[in-house]
Amino acid sequence: MAAAVVLLLGFIAFWVMLHLTRPRQGGQDERDAIIQGKSSGFALIAVMAYVFVTSILVYIRYEAQRTAPVGWLWFLAYTTFLCGWISASAASLWYYASGLAGRE
């Protein structure tokens, strides 16, 4: 229960910060749109790889029992969101810091 409350507070804080830092009229340019697109693409690949590898590892570990504990499914569900947010944010920071020269 405590973990669910912590995750709920994290989701609420995320959406509040997203609302407070939303783009204003004329606040974004073409570079921002390119970086957001590239970051989203990177995050999609990172999340797919994470879910695939984690699922295969859980399957291998519990293959002999022919069932997996439901706790692993909850873990996978919650950490998929976390992986997506972190990988998209990290990719955005990387592209902003390194620039887009030669990446378009």
Condensed to tens digits (0 to 9), the pLDDT of residues 68-94 reads 888 888 888 888 988 888 899 889 888
Q: What share of the chain is helix, strand, coil (3-state, %, to 5)?
A: 80, 0, 20
Task: Give the pLDDT confidence score for residue 16 in this predicted structure.
Answer: 83
Query: Quick check: 104 pLDDT over 70?
Result: no
Q: Tokens 């990446």 — which residue?
A: 103
Token digits for 100?
């887009």
* Greatest Cα pair distance in the chain: 58
Task: Indicate the pTM of the whole model.
Answer: 0.68
CB of 103 closer than 8 Å to CB of 33: no
Report the mean per-residue pLDDT for the chain. 84
What is the predicted pLDDT for the residue at 101?
59
For the stretch 5-55, pLDDT in tens is: 887 888 888 788 777 777 666 666 788 888 888 999 999 999 999 999 999
